[in-house]
Amino acid sequence: MDWIYEWKDPIWETLVGSLMIFIVVVVLTRIVGLRSFAKFTAYDFAFTVAIGSIISSTLTSSTSIAHGSAAIASLLFITYIFSFLQKKFPALSSAISNKPLLLMENGNILEKNLKHGRIEKSQLIAKLREANVLDFKQVEAVVLESTGDISVLHKTDSDPSLNKELLEGVRREP
């Protein structure tokens, strides 16, 4: 039965710690802002994973609540500083973030870009199905976003044409 539960397991500490870490994360997110857990760039994703890892190690008693809270606060502060610096220095943004890549344009699959983005044609087609695309002619653009997500911009016969601002900053060539 020890593999299910041992009397010396710190269950109550874990429960109280969970509540405390939850409060810390909510308070810090309110201070730093919602962008704290946004998934705009690869480093945003890395910070979110790191914070999850800190929470996990804190709740499994490998570190104290105070230590875990300080680590979370420091990471959120770093994301806040980076978002500020990216606005001030656009070169920093391009140095730490991938630019989105066009995978499909005007119904045509850009094979070279698929290869560069390491996206299989079958994965692209699955995304088209998810977006309810019935014909390649409906597809205005498919973009591999800097987060790794794939955006499908498509139309029906009655839709207006694509606003070119939606493709601003998207690489057409790898």
The answer to whether 100 and 143 have CB atoms below 8 angstroms apart is: yes
pTM: 0.68
Q: Which of 39, 142, 143 is nearest to 100 (CA)?
A: 143
Domain boundary among 60, 95, 130: 95
Q: Are residues 42 and 117 in the same domain?
A: no
- CA distances for 130 relative to 19, 27, 40, 127, 150, angstroms: 38, 36, 21, 5, 11
Domain containing 91 equals: 11-95
> What is the number of structural domains in the chain?
2
Rounded distance, CA 105 to CA 76, Å?
37
Tokens of 44: 């945003």
Position 52 in a domain: yes
Rounded distance, CA 55 to CA 123, Å?
33
Position 162 in a domain: yes
Domain boundary among 95, 110, 125: 95
Rounded distance, CA 134 to CA 153, Å?
13
Q: Are residues 74 and 130 in the same domain?
A: no
The answer to whether 54 and 68 have CB atoms below 8 angstroms apart is: yes
Phi, psi of 139, deg, nearest 5: -80, 120
Rounded distance, CA 50 to CA 58, Å?
12
Cα 122–chain centre separation: 22
Name the burial class of residue 101, with classes exposed (0-12), middle (13-18) and buried (19+) by CB atoms within 10 angstroms of its CB: buried
Domain boundary among 95, 120, 135: 95
Q: Are residues 162 and 129 in the same domain?
A: yes
Q: Are residues 88 and 160 in the same domain?
A: no
Burial state string for 52-63 with b = 16 or more CB within 10 A and e = fewer than 16: eebbeebbeeee
Position 173 in a domain: no
Q: Are residues 86 and 22 in the same domain?
A: yes
Mean pLDDT by 10 residues, the chain (174 residues): 69 86 89 73 80 89 87 89 82 77 95 94 95 92 89 82 86 85
Position 60 in a domain: yes
Q: Are residues 121 and 58 in the same domain?
A: no
Q: Are residues 82 and 115 in the same domain?
A: no
Domain CATH for 130 = 3.30.240.20
